[in-house]
Chains A and B, each alone.
Chain A
Amino acid sequence: GENVEQHPSTLSVQEGDSAVIKCTYSDSASNYFPWYKQELGKRPQLIIDIRSNVGEKKDQRIAVTLNKTAKHFSLHITETQPEDSAVYFCAPSGMRFGAGTRLTVKP
């Protein structure tokens, strides 16, 4: 089965700083790369995704970059705000999830 690893497992940044979370995967057939945000007690919510024919996608303060050769993709959050504090999951191909990265944005 697919091996999915996320790094780091926890990340603490100051408000206004950038945050980067990396996801590596093993299945070279993966062609869909989403990132989910989950707040405590709530369901995972898709925040951005990218497909294998694109190397980068940006949506306001959030971006995802993909390196298919190296089999990893990353979530970039700029100008972080306290409400960005949550657990973020990658899920290559949308089915297998990483263990999550707990992001804390300190005001």
Chain B
Amino acid sequence: DTGVSQNPRHKITKRGQNVTFRCDPISEHNRLYWYRQTLGQGPEFLTYFQNEAQLEKSRLLSDRFSAERPKGSFSTLEIQRTEQGDSAMYLCASSGSVPKLLQDPGNTIYFGEGSWLTVV
């Protein structure tokens, strides 16, 4: 296990199309997070899961955005009817709420490489 994995890394889509991103967290991490980041800004929290339960969702997340984590492992983030304003990097991250490793005493959030979305 080499860390949080995201794909695709880059996606160019036409306005109005749907896109889906996938995130595979670090194994045994029960928490998974999605963020959006645009140039010059900090990561903006979108939603997070503990196992398969979606515990929090940002008010900034419009109805066109949906995230799932059906089996408590990988997660998908779907954007429907994309708009140019959706162009950003979508970051996934994971953490373990229960410390299992001495060097990772819980709560530390590890990020994936991100998925760049360009809506044209």
Q: Which residues on A are within 8 Å of B, measured CB to CB?
A: 32, 34, 42-46, 49, 51, 89, 91, 94-100
Contacts and interface: CB of A to CB of B under 8 A. Distances in A.
A57 to B, nearest CB: 12
Interface of B: 33, 35, 40-45, 48, 91, 95, 105, 107-114
Dominant secondary structure of chain B at its interface with chain A: loop
A75 B99 CA distance: 25
Given A43-B91, A43-B114, A94 B42 contact: no
Contacts of A51: 105, 107
A46 B3 CA distance: 13
A96 B45 contact: yes
A46 B109 contact: yes
Contacts, number: 44
Given A51-B105, A51-B107, A95-B48, 20 more contacts: A34-B108, A43-B91, A43-B114, A45-B111, A46-B108, A46-B109, A46-B110, A49-B107, A89-B42, A91-B43, A94-B108, A95-B33, A95-B109, A96-B45, A97-B42, A97-B44, A98-B42, A99-B41, A100-B40, A100-B41
Contact of A94 (B95, B112, B113, B114): B95
